[in-house]
């Protein structure tokens, strides 16, 4: 197996297999309409259906926050449990459709699959950073680019399978496909030979002590910037299709969704790689926030959505997708620059709790704005205010002026 022990087969490829599977959570809209039709035909209410996605994102973030130390200790066990939970959640959603049970759908797609998402997301990140020590941004960018590209790859596949066999059996088939992909990734994933880590014995006092990191102003700043970037991203990305329809591009919405999916993945790889060449990796967040803010102001000032200014609207959504993806890939490397790589899975997991809360607020706030005003243009007022807050927090709280502390773990 020595010939397999390299950074591509032991880190990059398994990371892509894991993340390209779990990243399909963003294909929810390609399943939602079909599930809604089945439930409506059974004379069931579908008012809670949107919570399946929100709960999946919430449990992704919270499982990452509370299980980060578990991932640190055993990436193989974590990736295996993540694989099982994710596949079981998708298959269980198929069973929920068959039984016309909204409760089961929320439990399986929201809770069970969400836990699989959190474990599957964290498992390869530190391993990549260890194999690619001199290009940590490139490494994490490779992993989360798979997460961003999943929608681009699987959206047409999901559409074709649902059309061919119906949404229930489509969920069973997809669960099997993603299980195989993730299980192969789990088998291949391996830290570099000779990497030795020491971990304290688990106890609740030590576990909850990790959350004292929120007493660190710099960590709170990173958390807030990450949270706001996701919240604003979800507010706009969740209404992409509707915005395209509003500006007269309904017929091209699917193609444009693929295009923005590409830029979502490109932002994850591009911004993280850019950070490798900066003295202060936090400047990546400044670039992201300024670009998003500038085009949001331009779109609001010109009434781009209401006036159907196609170029500005499409450019805005491309930049938002770029920044949304870039924010994810930049997070673990920024944390490692500030706090060291020793407990990065735990710190990264805690920071991902911001994703959990953004999943419960971003698209819901945008939905409320549209419901109250009837105009997608007004979402921009909310995002502009939030981007300004994030930029101020980033400038005054997060500037990295020192090197990462010495590692607790070491390479021998």
Hey, which residues does 196 pair with through a beta bridge?
Answer: 410
pTM: 0.80
Give the model's pLDDT for residue 224.
96
For residue range 242-271, what is the model confidence (pLDDT) as tens digits? 888 889 888 887 788 778 888 888 888 888
Q: What is the mean pLDDT of residues 380-387?
A: 96
- Look up tokens 């960018």; give the residue: 141
Q: What is the pLDDT of residues 88-102, one digit of tens each?
A: 999 999 999 999 999
Per-residue pLDDT tens over the stretch 278-323? 888 889 999 999 999 999 999 999 999 889 889 999 999 999 999 9
- Whole-number Å distance between alpha carbons of 127 and 78: 13
For 188-197, write each residue's pLDDT tens digit: 998 887 665 5
Kindly state the tokens that stand for 218: 């710099």
Measured distance CA(304)–CA(274) in Å, rounded? 30
CB 26 within 8 A of CB 314: no
Q: Which among 286, 313, 308 is positioned nearest to 298, based on CA atoms?
A: 313
Identify the burial level of 101 via C-beta atoms within 10 angstroms of its C-beta, where 0-12 means exposed, 13-18 middle and 19 or more buried: middle
Name the segment(s) of the chain with CATH classification 1.20.1250.20.
1-193, 211-399
CA-to-CA dists, residue 358 to 40, 56, 67, 364, 405, angstroms:
29, 12, 19, 10, 30
Tell me how far apart the alpha carbons of residues 106 and 89 are, in angstroms, rounded to a whole number. 10
Please answer whether residues 118 and 60 qualify as being in contact, where contact means their C-beta atoms are separated by less than 8 angstroms.
yes
What is the spatial distance between Cα 50 and Cα 239, in angstroms, rounded to a whole number? 13
Q: What is the DSSP string of 57-103?
A: HHHHHHHHHHHHHHHHH-HHHHHHHHHHHHHHHHHHHHHHHHHT-HH
Q: Please name the fold of domain 1-193.
A: Growth Hormone; Chain: A; (1.20.1250)
Give the mean pLDDT of the chain: 85
Among 111-115, 135-139, 232-236, 374-378, top mean pLDDT goes to 111-115
Determine how many CB atoms are found less than 10 A away from the CB of residue 209: 11
Backbone angles phi, psi at 196, to 5 degrees: -120, 130
pLDDT of residue 301: 95
Render pLDDT for 9-26 as a digit per residue (tens, 0 to 9).
Answer: 888 899 889 999 998 998
The CATH class of the 211-399 domain is mainly alpha
Q: How far apart are CA 112 and CA 96, in angstroms?
A: 13
User: What b/e readout covers 317-342, taking b as 16+ CB neighbours within 10 angstroms?
Assistant: bbbbbbbbbbbbbbbbbbbbbbbbbb
């Amino acid at each position: 197996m020595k010939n397999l022990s390299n950074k591509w087969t032991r880190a990059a490829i398994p990371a892509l297999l894991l993340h390209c599977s779990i990243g399909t959570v963003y294909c929810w809209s390609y399943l939602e309409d079909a599930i809604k039709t089945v439930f409506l035909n059974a004379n069931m209410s579908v008012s809670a259906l949107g919570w399946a996605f929100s709960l999946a994102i919430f449990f992704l973030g919270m499982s990452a926050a509370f299980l980060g130390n578990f991932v640190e200790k055993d990436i193989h066990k974590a990736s295996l449990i993540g694989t099982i939970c994710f596949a079981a959640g998708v298959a269980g959603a198929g069973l929920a459709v068959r039984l016309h049970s909204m409760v089961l759908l929320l439990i399986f797609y929201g809770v069970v699959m969400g836990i699989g998402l959190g474990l599957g997301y964290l498992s390869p990140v530190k391993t990549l950073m260890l194999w690619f020590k001199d290009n940590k941004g490139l490494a994490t960018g490779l992993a989360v680019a798979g997460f961003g590209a999943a929608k681009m790859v699987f959206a047409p596949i999901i559409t074709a399978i649902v059309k061919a066999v119906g949404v229930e059996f489509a969920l069973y088939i997809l669960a099997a496909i993603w299980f195989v992909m993730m299980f192969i990734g789990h088998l291949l994933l391996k830290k570099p030979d000779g990497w030795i880590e020491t971990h304290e014995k688990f106890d609740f006092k030590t576990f909850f002590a990790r959350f004292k990191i929120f007493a660190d102003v710099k960590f709170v700043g990173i958390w807030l910037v990450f949270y706001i970037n996701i919240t604003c991203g979800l507010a706009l990305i969740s209404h992409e299709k509707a915005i395209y329809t509003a500006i007269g591009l309904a017929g091209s919405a699917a193609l444009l969704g693929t295009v923005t999916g590409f830029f979502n993945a490109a932002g994850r790889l591009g911004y993280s790689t850019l950070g490798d060449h900066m003295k202060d990796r936090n400047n990546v967040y400044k670039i992201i926030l300024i670009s998003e803010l500038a085009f949001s102001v331009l779109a609001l000032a010109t009434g781009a959505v209401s006036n159907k200014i196609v170029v500005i609207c499409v450019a805005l959504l491309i930049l938002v997708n770029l920044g949304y993806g870039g924010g994810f890939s930049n997070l673990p490397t920024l944390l490692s620059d500030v706090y060291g790589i020793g407990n990065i899975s735990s710190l990264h997991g805690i920071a991902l709790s911001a994703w959990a809360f953004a999943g419960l607020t971003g698209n819901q706030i945008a939905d409320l704005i549209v419901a109250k005003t009837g105009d997608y243009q007004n979402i921009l007022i909310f995002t502009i205010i939030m981007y300004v807050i994030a930029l101020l927090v980033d400038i005054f709280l997060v500037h990295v002026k020192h090197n990462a502390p010495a590692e607790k773990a070491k390479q021998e």
